[in-house]
Structure 1
């Protein structure tokens, strides 16, 4: 399995403001790059915080890219995966529409009523007691034939994936904004590392819109 984290951050490393409102950090060319990466992936992965804050569809926007996927014998859109330990995903969330298959990864702590509600809209994966065990959940996704996963956030999930040693590649658009704020989300939130920091190898630097896309491969996994 190949796990690619893709994100857009301000020049000072923030994903959004302290209000956690969605901001347009990149521009049209980078949006097209992200759409191509989605189209090349088997699934798009987000944490429940992103679903609650932004209500994304996580589908391929370009008609030609969707058509190409179908010509290749794949669904028009990649699957969607929500990491949601407690089953907080609303049943009317855009990510649960019928545009693509959706998996919701739960922990055993998710209430029964939430499981029952979500089971009508998504494939459920249970892994872990209090929090989703990402290693087990991703192994289940791989068993279902999902080989390239594109992770779109947020910062808590991205940190957890690095902590679990699951990230193969990081693609980061760094845009021309200063957001600031000690409480604004960053690329990798969570508890943070104090030792055994993941090591990255810079693979490419590409100027796009008014920023740059930095591509790193993860060395120590």
Structure 2
């Protein structure tokens, strides 16, 4: 599977404010770029923290792109994926609106009650891990369900876990013209952080976009990293 991580950060690397409130970091050109990447993906993934904070729909917005997917024999929108160890996704979340298949990846530790509620709300609940969702097991389960290209849109905990597991092929980051600050504000890759064996990146592209800059990297050690942009 090809895993593409895409995010927008402030100039100081923040995804959101210390209150975890959603920020409008990029502009129309970058929104359209992300929509195009979604349309080319088999599934779009986020962590449960993003669902709780932003309630995204993760669907393709441009009608021509939706029509193009249908003309190619695909569903109108890519599948949605939530990495959600404890099954905290609200049953009325936008990702469960029925517009596309939604996989909620949970750990065995998630309560049966939560799993059943999510299934009743329309999610396909997938157990991948014991105490927490195991990223490799989750990605493998998605591959078994026909996902060949996965777009990951955050947040920082999920992005770190995917890098830690060595699963990321490509990283694109839109860096916006603002400074957020705050030691408690989420960054591109949170989690425990690396102290050695830092994942290496190979800069593939630099593009000025809106009021910021778009950076594209391939990930060293991945055989196809950066080649399928």
Q: Shorter-chain-normalised TM-score: which range?
A: over 0.9
Q: Give CA-to-partner distance per residue, 1:85-114, whole Å, 9 cap, x none.
A: 000001000001110000000000000100
Runs (4+) off by over 4 Å? none
| 1:149-164 correspondence to structure 2 within 5 Å | 149-164=150-165
The residue number in structure 2 matching 1:61 is 61
The RMSD of aligned alpha carbons is 0.6
Structure 2: any 5+ residue segments left out of the alignment? 223-229
Q: Give CA-to-partner distance per residue, 1:63-88, whole Å, 9 cap, x none.
A: 00000000011001000000000000
The whole-number CA distance in structure 2 between the counterparts of 1:214 and 1:79 is 26
The whole-number CA distance in structure 2 between the counterparts of 1:14 and 1:127 is 29
Q: Give CA-to-partner distance per residue, 1:15-74, whole Å, 9 cap, x none.
A: 010011001000000000000000000000000000000000000000000000000110
The whole-number CA distance in structure 1 between the counterparts of 2:200 and 2:53 is 30
Q: Tell me, what secondary structure is at the counterpart of 1:115?
A: helix
The residue number in structure 2 matching 1:21 is 21
| 1:124-163 correspondence to structure 2 within 5 Å | 124-163=125-164
Is the counterpart of residue 190 in structure 1 residue 186 in structure 2? no
Between 186-195 and 116-125, report the one with greater CA deviation.
116-125
The whole-number CA distance in structure 2 between the counterparts of 1:131 and 1:98 is 26
Q: Tell me, what secondary structure is at the counterpart of 1:217?
A: strand
The residue number in structure 2 matching 1:93 is 93
The whole-number CA distance in structure 2 between the counterparts of 1:164 and 1:148 is 17
How many residue pairs get aligned? The number is 221
Structure 1: any 5+ residue segments left out of the alignment? none
Between 148-157 and 134-143, report the one with greater CA deviation.
134-143
The residue number in structure 2 matching 1:206 is 207
The residue number in structure 2 matching 1:5 is 5
Cα drift, residue 220 of structure 1:
2.8
Cα drift, residue 127 of structure 1:
1.2
The residue number in structure 2 matching 1:43 is 43
Q: Tell me, what secondary structure is at the counterpart of 1:166?
A: coil
The residue number in structure 1 matching 2:226 is none
The residue number in structure 1 matching 2:227 is none
Q: Give CA-to-partner distance per residue, 1:115-152, whole Å, 9 cap, x none.
A: 11011211111011100011111111111111000000
Give the TM-score of the pair, scaled to structure 1. Answer: 0.99
Give the TM-score of the pair, scaled to structure 2. Answer: 0.96
Cα drift, residue 155 of structure 1:
0.3
The whole-number CA distance in structure 2 between the counterparts of 1:102 and 1:59 is 11
